[in-house]
Amino acid sequence: MMRIALIYLGRRGAGRWISLELAGELHKKFSVLTVTSEYMENPSEWETLESERLVVSTFRSAIQALFSLIFPLRINQLVKKVRVFQPDVLLFPMFHPWNGFIQRRLTNIPSVVFVHDPEPHPDLTGWFYSKLEQDTIRQAERCIILSKNLMDGMIARGKDMEKLDVIPLGLFRVTPSRKLNPSRQSFSTLLFFGRIVPYKGLEILLQAYADIRRTHQVRLLIAGEGDLTPYQSLLKDLPNVQVVNHWVPDDEIEKFFAESDLVVLPYTSGSQSGVIPMAASFGLPVIATRVGGIPEQITNGETGWLVEPNSKDVLATALREALDHPDLARGRGEALRRHYESELNWEKIALQVEESLMKANQARGPK
């Protein structure tokens, strides 16, 4: 039986959901050690797993992170404990600054690394972060990317195409019940959800929203952390806009999706979106732009709308169509939910990850 050390050291966000779902599925067939940070959000969810667990102290700030790399005592302690488990392969579902240091100390054990952004977002990553991630990619026996569209970016970073696996994001478990958006007579609330950074295209959405407000009774809900300063001139004159400007913890996510009718992703660039699997879990329709791997997540005219980026007029046209035809929009949201539940459930995703892990293990041969 293959022995897998699944190492997720992040504190919050999509990586935790991905890791939790994979750990649960992989444990059904293999011996799994999950390695997580004691600072992770909602750690109680992991207590339901039957796999072996290792909880470690990581860091909570950039200064602590730098200190942990210069004086890697905690990393060395973690490595010793992982080595006791005698894994056949290491699985890293999300980048973390410690990943490359762990790989280097366990160089005889092949690793499989998820790379969520083969072309790092300029708004989110710095030079040092990119260097650390590149080191992780270089050491990995295999890399998993979430979209075929991102293949060229990985090849440009020096990874052999034969060592790349394309495995899409599965349905995100926003709440244990995955409660769907309740049917309401009105269809008028738009949701922009997630970190607020320039490439997310909030400016385009605000401009399109201003246009459709002239003809439609509509409401815009903006939820996520980030700097709103660049958008103040647009926001100050817009009615019916609610802004929740902080990181949204898991126990608050449901209320934003449950009170919304339509999810809007006006990205100007990007790799893929974790918001789409969230929308799918609520059966909500999505309007998104044709950037990165998003066209592999949304089928235009079937599970949502795909529009060209950087155009408030094109976005406004799609918004009007959805608002004017709520039954059509709800139907696309339900089609999105059915697609994720049938084709992108975690049982099927885990089978693809399993194949990648076995290839990595076989490529190294006997330890």
Q: What is the mean pLDDT of residues 172-182?
A: 54
What pLDDT is attached to residue 184?
55
Mean residue pLDDT of the chain comes to: 91
Are the beta carbons of 353 and 91 closer than 8 angstroms? yes
What pLDDT is attached to residue 49?
84
Q: What is the mean pLDDT of residues 276-303?
A: 96
Q: What is the mean pLDDT of residues 324-349?
A: 96
**pLDDT per position as a tens digit, 234-255:** 999 899 999 999 999 888 898 9
Give yes or no for residue 120 having a pLDDT over 80.
Answer: no
Give yes or no for residue 3 having a pLDDT over 80.
Answer: yes
Residue 243, both tokens: 């802004």
Give yes or no for residue 166 having a pLDDT over 80.
Answer: yes
What pLDDT is attached to residue 352?
97
Q: What is the mean pLDDT of residues 52-81?
A: 93
Q: What is the mean pLDDT of residues 4-22?
A: 92
Give yes or no for residue 140 having a pLDDT over 60.
Answer: yes
What pLDDT is attached to residue 81?
97
Q: What is the mean pLDDT of residues 336-348?
A: 95
What pLDDT is attached to residue 250?
83
Give yes or no for residue 183 having a pLDDT over 80.
Answer: no
Give yes or no for residue 182 having a pLDDT over 90.
Answer: no
What pLDDT is attached to residue 365?
67
What pLDDT is attached to residue 122?
58
Domains defined for the chain, CATH in brackets? 3-170+345-364 (3.40.50.2000), 189-343 (3.40.50.2000)
Q: What is the mean pLDDT of residues 28-39?
A: 95
Give yes or no for residue 181 having a pLDDT over 50.
Answer: no
